[in-house]
Chains A and B, each alone.
Chain A
Amino acid sequence: MNRFIILLLIICSVLPVFAADFWLTQILSRSIILGVMALSLTFLTAYLGVVSFAQVTLAGIAGYTIAYFSANTAGIGAELPWVFAVLLALFFSTIAGALVGLIARQSVGIYSIMITLAISMAFFYFTRQNYSVFNGWTGFSGISAPSVMGLDLGAPVVFYYVCLFTGALATLFVVKFSSSPLGLSIQGVRDAARRVRAIGIPTSPVIVSAYAFSGLIAGMAGILNVWHQERVSSFSVGLGPTIDVLIISVIGGMRHPLGAFIGAITYVMIDTFAIDLISRDRFNTVIGLVLLLIVIAAPEGILGILKSVKERIKKIVLN
């Protein structure tokens, strides 16, 4: 698997030579951003065994922080050097993640879904009605990615590399974190919470830290998302994006961090091009059918399909 990831990274890093700007920004960068957001969910699902609907909220908190502390057209907030804005954004999304974890620490299964969904909807309506910090319905616009030493991070090629780097970093974080002592206790809590308590490890801090970590990952995506869209509003944290992230995680596969990115690129391609393939009255039907087909044919997502194909090829080659 490691050789595969390195190969993938090499391919991804030479793509700007071939790809037009549209492919870089609207397809690849957007996929990576959504992928990182989904990664924060698949991390929780794979290692802690809960489904959280609050990941878009956590990303949104980071996004709103960036918007508030950058130049924008809403006339709200204070401009800070971008490094501080980014650090603050990550700090807030991590803290918010921990808070969500604190509230949801006792619940699993459908109850964790209910609680996190309630949190995300509360945040959504709050942003929509609060004008002093979130600028209500309209939100913030006119936010651009910063320039670092004369290099405009918003330029298509540069921004793509920023996304690629962040995506790789987030994946590395998840892989390393999950094999750290804390990561192992998280998996322990997933498998047998009672036994973990029995050997003297309290479970609550472990669960809260898993949520906080997922908040950090979601925050990374949230920052990139604001730079990419150049705006953030109540729509960015609504039910629509929340469900999109869930769909991406499911169709990609939750077993491996890569699944989130595979799911994201699949989703973005369908979302962008379905309207060109079929009459515009029915394109949502196509999106729905394709997603349904993936879920039915591959319960473990596209990643699962790839694995079984790989095993079959191995068998043929060995024979």
Chain B
Amino acid sequence: MISNFKKILAASVIAATFIANPVFAAEKVKIGVISILEGAFAALGKDGIRGAELAFIETGNKAAGKDVEIIVMSSDASPDSAVNAARKLIEKDKVDIIIGPLSGSEGIALRDLSKGYQGVTFINGSSAAQDTTFRDGSDNFFRFGGDGAQWMAGVGTYSYEKLGYKKVAVVAEDYSFPYTQVLGFMSEYCKAGGRVPNKFWTPIGTKDYSSIVYAIPDDVDAIFVALGGADAVNFLTQYNQAGGNKPIIGGTITIDQSILDSKGPFKKLLVGTPAGTPTVSDFEGKEWKEFSASYAKSFPDGLSAPSIFAHHYYMAGKAALLGLEKVNGDLSNNQKAFRAVLEKLEFVTPTGGTMRLDENRNGIIDSFVTEVFEREDGTFGNRVLKVIRNVNQTMGHDAAKFKALGPVSRDNPSCP
């Protein structure tokens, strides 16, 4: 009696669970979006989703007459979780296109995963490791944006020529994104004639920087700091408290508005600090103002201006929609026609440049050199010094030579 009951129970549970996945006959394009919606990056990740949604809101959630369905998955900044999220979107939700992920190592993981799923096209969100597209790329992985090196375009030259820094020490977090940022800075700076005698790599989340503060040599002219969030605040505060007075050069996520809004005397040290970034939230360009207004209208509860993540996920969403329009929604034959269109796609970005891809399916982008300034009311902001158009992944170097330098690491590039 008991075992019969159990058998029936077990059988019905299994039946209920697996008679799933009804076949969809409707004409619909399914797009999965992966972003970080948990942990320390959640607020930023959410803004990425807003960016992707904005692209679809603008077309009324339609592409080439077909309805577009968006399915969101979260990762937690680890490559494993991004891979799990993508597999769920592909195998369970049967998406045609994936937009994402947010951070560098996740991007490399999805690039590797994409090789096993020829029926799905991956469009990178905001992850910016160099190797995602530059080495060992995947035919169905596209990045309508730059890598961390491209984002530093112009900063090295500006530091050497305009600011006259002949020797710079580097303080950066010890993983792929800062490596790429340091490459972007050093490839220009060393070429211009500058020297980088010391590089200090710190684990992400370091609280105590005193050993590094005291190890920075006296004869350097400035410090290039590629730390993010709390790490940047901790380092700059401790450097200031120790009496450090070298000028700072910032990475893309070092000097963002949240740091300038935080309390502390170290901010005085930052006035005049140059940094490189693809996104300036109060940029005066016409297209950016339109984009910003459209963002504010669609997301009253969003940030005061679109972040770098909203900006990049928006470009990814827009590329997907424009591509779908051009092929009339035809995703047959392993999306061959769609991918051919994406490779040749050109559109005007919110920063006013023309987005197009190189042969590695990596974006040729606009980048900004910015500077920290003190407003009349005593608050601090970033202002644009220079817009650099058409930055490609080799930063203007010869492609073969640039590749021959090898993958970025702690010791590469080097010009002591």
Contacts and interface: CB of A to CB of B under 8 A. Distances in A.
Interface string B304-332: 00000000000000000000000000000
Contacts of A9: none
Given A20-B91, A25-B87, A136-B175, A11 B14 contact: yes
Contact of B84 (A20, A26, A284, A314): A26
A313 interface: yes
Given A7-B7, A73-B112, A141-B108, A26 B80 contact: no
B3 A3 contact: yes
Contacts of B136: 73
A26 B92 contact: yes
A198 B3 CA distance: 46
A19 B18 contact: yes
Nearest to B19: A18
A74 to B, nearest CB: 10
Contacts of B175: 136-138
Contact of A131 (B37, B38, B78, B409): B409
Interface string A125-164: 1001101000011110110000000000000000000000
Interface string A265-293: 00000001001000011011000000000
Interface residues of B, number: 44
A283 B37 CA distance: 9
B37 A240 contact: no
B76 to A, nearest CB: 7
B6 A280 contact: no
Given A20-B91, A25-B91, A137-B176, A275 B74 contact: yes
A298 to B, nearest CB: 19
Given A21-B91, A137-B175, A280 B109 contact: no
A22 B108 CA distance: 22
A139 B174 CA distance: 13
Contact of B18 (A18, A30, A129): A18
B405 interface: no
Given A7-B3, A230-B112, A235-B78, 4 more contacts: A15-B18, A141-B108, A233-B78, A317-B1
Interface of A: 3-4, 7, 11, 15, 18-23, 25-26, 30, 73, 125, 128-129, 131, 136-139, 141-142, 229-231, 233, 235-236, 238, 240, 272, 275, 280-281, 283-284, 310, 313-314, 317
